[in-house]
Structures are given as structure tokens and as C-alpha cells.
């Protein structure tokens, strides 16, 4: 409410240019709206974390600087409303609306992403993630946070634009041992072979910072590359998801395609040194799209689709996922002339 700051149940109807809300009497909405929110010039914040005990909020700020706080019944409902309201705000710009829907299931992450920076922000006493005590099957855990709270925090701090991206990013934090699961729900999820199910966007899944989360060193051996193979002209670059050779898990990597000489290198976006973690010559390689109606031999885990394969002249198989069929076609067409 604007005068009395209490919370009331209202029936909302989204139109092309406004959001109407009605009082409910006797389980039915009244015929005339109680009020309206004009969407022209509105800005939307979702998730809105201004109320610590209300994690399911959407905030709308009108062009006259009036704030509306709308609480939904579930995270799924909140995100669905937020997407549709954002689409109505940008109704005159169909390209933006298409981009919003595409981003819902996108692997695209920020180019300059650094997990060290994210963890430092998470530790901040005023703007970081709120640490709480939680009880799980009789066990008490200090300084923990839930999976859904971390997803909300990553989105509200602009590290991700969708819950799908935030879960991917949280999984990377867990893979690099910045955070770890505690309690039954999150620990059991670690047993899944599917990487997308290891981190849970769930209010009952508990996580905490790892002891090593403040250490900036890595025990992994660095891969050495010849300077000449990194000197080629960059033809194409972008984020794709690659299956690992040993653990067969899927990780987001930034791929860089170079010509003269023709090489494809991939980088870990969590590292600040901007050195490739892998790469290979494209001479003599075979590249092909894989059908989405079945999982090929050699591929493990949950494949979202848009998969393609590169076989090197040494018969090493690389399995890679793009975020869309169009992006897969673009990568294949860029790689083929260089083989």
C-alpha cells in the first residue's frame, strides 16, 4: 500500500501498456479496478531484495518515480510475471522482447566475469549475501545461505540476467571450490552426474563459503602454448559449453577462433590471467552438428541441445554446446574453411 504500508491481496491484469489491479471480495474480483500502473517509462527490478523477509518481490518504478512492490506466490510465478511485464514495457521494441525471451535459456555470460570478484562482493558486510543460521534434520549450520538466495543475489547484482545463467554461475563457484554444499538437500544433489542438477535453485538447499574461497592460487598445472599459435587473426569468439575430457562434466568456456595459423583456443572465464586452458590446430579437423534427438556415444550428462563435434587429426573428440541452433551454425561455418 502507498498510504498504509501493509500488504494486500490484489488480482492483477497485464495489458499492453498498463497493469491493472482489483480488490477481491468473496473470492471474486470486483468489476472495476482499484488502481493501475502505467508501464510507459517504467523500470523493473527482479529479484528485488529490499525486504529481507520477502524474497519473491518485483519492484516497479514509474517514470514519475513511484515505487510499487509486488509479491508473488513462488519464484517461478515471480519470474514469469517479471518477463511478461518487461515485454510489455518494451512492447514497441520487438527486437528487445525477442532478446529477453532468448536470454531465459542462454549460456551467455559477461565477457569480463571473475569469480574472485564475485566472491569478494559476496563477502561484503553491507551488500554481500546474507549469512544465516539454518537447521537441517537436527543439525545446526552457521553462516549459510540457500541456493535460491544466491541465485537472487547474483541476478540483483547484475552478474546474471536469468535464473538459468545464475545457476550456471553458481555451479562454477562450486566447481572452483569457492562455495560448498551443506545439509542433506544440497549434498545429495552433488551425486547427480548432470552438472546442471548439482547446484539447486531451492530455498531448502544450503550452501556456505569454502575454507579455500579466499585463496587466489590454483593447484592446476598451467598449459603452455606456443606464441605463434596465439598470433593469428581472431575470426570469431564467444561463450560455449564444452565437455571435459577426464571428468566428462560440462563447463562454460570462452572460445577464440583464429586464422593464419588456424587454431581454436578456449579460456576459463573465472580466471583473471586471460591465458587459454586448452586449444588445438584446426588443420585436418572434422566439424559437424549432432542431432538433438539422442545423446551420442561419448557424451555424458544432460545435453540441452545445439551440440556439435570437432575431431582433430589426432582423433581427439571435442563435444561442444551452443546456446541456439543459429549460433551452432555460425560456429560450424566459421570453423570449416579453416580445416
CA–CA dist 217, 211 (Å, integer): 13
User: In CATH, which of 1.10.10.60, 3.40.50.12780, 2.30.29.30, 3.20.20.70 is domain 10-104?
Assistant: 2.30.29.30
Q: What is the pLDDT of residue 75?
A: 73
CATH of 115-213, one of 1.10.10.10, 1.10.340.30, 3.30.230.10, 3.40.50.2000: 1.10.10.10
Q: Would you state the pLDDT for residue 263? A: 93
All three cell numbers of 178: 569457492
Confidence at residue 80, expressed as pLDDT on a 0 to 100 scale: 82
Q: Please classify residue 200 by burial: count the beta carbons closer than 10 Å to its beta carbon, then call 0-12 exposed, 13-18 middle and 19+ buried.
A: buried
Query: Structural domain boundaries of the chain?
Result: 10-104, 115-213, 227-336
Report the alpha-carbon angle 48-251-101, nearest 5: 45
Report the 10 Å Cβ neighbour count for 191. Answer: 8
If one counts every other C-beta atom within 10 angstroms of the C-beta of residue 308, the result is 19
- Rounded to two decimals, the pTM is 0.42
pLDDT tens digit at each of 339 positions of the chain: 877 778 888 889 999 889 999 988 777 788 899 999 999 889 888 878 777 677 788 899 999 999 999 988 777 788 788 888 888 888 755 555 555 555 544 444 554 567 788 888 898 878 899 888 887 767 788 889 999 999 999 988 888 877 878 888 888 888 777 898 988 888 888 766 455 567 888 888 999 998 755 544 333 434 556 667 777 888 998 888 888 876 677 888 889 999 988 999 998 877 766 788 888 999 999 999 987 655 565 566 656 678 899 999 888 889 998 888 889 999 999 999 999
Please name the helix (run of DSSP H) or strand (run of DSSP E) that holds residue 46, with its range, or none: strand 43-48
The span from the CA of 116 to the CA of 131, in Å, is 19
Amino acid 115: pLDDT: 78
Question: Grid coordinates 491484469 are at which residue?
Answer: 13
* Cα gap 128→120, rounded to integer Å: 8
* Neighbour-count burial for 87-104, b at 16+ CB within 10 Å, e otherwise: bbbeeeeeeebeebeebe
Q: Which residue has the cell 545464475?
A: 166
Q: Which of 119, 102, 110 is nearest to 254 (CA)?
A: 110
Q: Do domains 115-213 and 227-336 have the same CATH topology?
A: no
The burial of 240, by beta-carbon neighbours within 10 Å (0-12 exposed, 13-18 middle, 19 or more buried), is given as: buried
| Residue 108: per-residue pLDDT | 47
Q: What is the CATH number of domain 227-336?
A: 2.30.29.30
Amino acid at each position: 500500500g502507498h498510504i498504509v504500508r501493509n500488504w494486500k491481496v490484489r488480482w492483477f491484469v497485464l495489458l499492453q501498456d498498463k497493469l491493472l489491479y482489483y480488490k477481491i471480495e468473496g473470492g471474486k474480483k470486483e468489476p472495476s479496478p482499484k488502481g493501475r500502473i502505467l508501464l510507459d517509462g517504467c523500470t523493473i527490478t527482479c529479484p528485488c531484495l529490499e525486504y529481507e523477509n520477502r524474497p519473491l518481490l518485483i519492484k516497479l518504478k514509474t517514470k514519475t518515480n513511484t515505487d510499487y512492490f509486488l509479491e508473488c506466490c513462488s519464484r517461478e510465478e515471480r519470474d514469469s510475471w517479471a518477463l511478461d511485464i518487461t515485454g510489455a514495457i518494451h512492447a514497441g521494441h520487438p527486437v528487445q522482447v525477442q532478446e529477453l525471451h532468448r536470454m531465459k535459456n542462454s549460456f551467455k555470460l559477461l565477457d569480463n566475469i571473475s569469480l574472485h570478484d564475485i566472491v569478494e562482493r559476496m563477502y561484503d558486510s553491507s551488500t554481500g549475501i546474507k549469512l544465516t543460521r539454518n537447521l537441517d534434520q537436527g543439525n545446526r549450520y552457521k553462516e549459510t545461505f540457500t541456493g535460491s538466495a544466491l541465485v537472487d543475489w547474483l541476478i540483483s547484482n547484475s552478474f546474471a540476467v536469468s535464473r538459468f545463467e545464475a545457476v550456471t554461475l553458481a555451479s562454477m563457484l562450486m566447481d572452483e571450490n569457492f562455495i560448498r554444499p551443506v545439509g542433506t538437500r544440497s549434498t545429495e544433489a552433488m551425486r547427480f552426474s548432470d552438472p546442471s542438477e548439482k547446484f539447486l535453485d531451492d530455498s531448502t538447499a544450503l550452501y556456505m563459503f569454502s575454507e579455500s574461497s579466499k585463496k587466489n592460487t590454483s593447484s592446476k598445472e598451467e598449459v603452455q602454448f606456443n606464441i605463434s599459435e596465439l598470433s593469428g587473426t581472431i575470426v570469431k569468439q564467444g561463450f560455449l559449453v564444452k565437455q571435459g575430457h577426464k571428468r566428462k562434466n560440462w563447463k562454460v568456456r570462452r572460445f577464440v577462433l583464429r586464422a593464419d595459423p588456424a587454431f581454436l583456443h578456449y579460456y576459463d572465464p573465472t580466471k583473471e590471467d586471460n591465458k587459454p586452458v586448452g586449444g588445438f590446430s584446426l588443420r585436418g579437423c572434422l566439424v559437424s552438428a549432432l542431432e538433438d534427438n539422442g545423446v551420442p556415444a561419448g557424451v555424458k550428462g544432460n545435453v540441452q541441445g545445439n551440440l556439435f563435434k570437432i575431431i582433430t587429426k589426432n582423433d581427439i573428440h571435442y563435444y561442444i554446446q551452443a546456446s541456439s541452433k543459429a549460433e551452432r551454425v555460425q560456429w560450424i561455418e566459421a570453423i570449416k574453411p579453416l580445416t
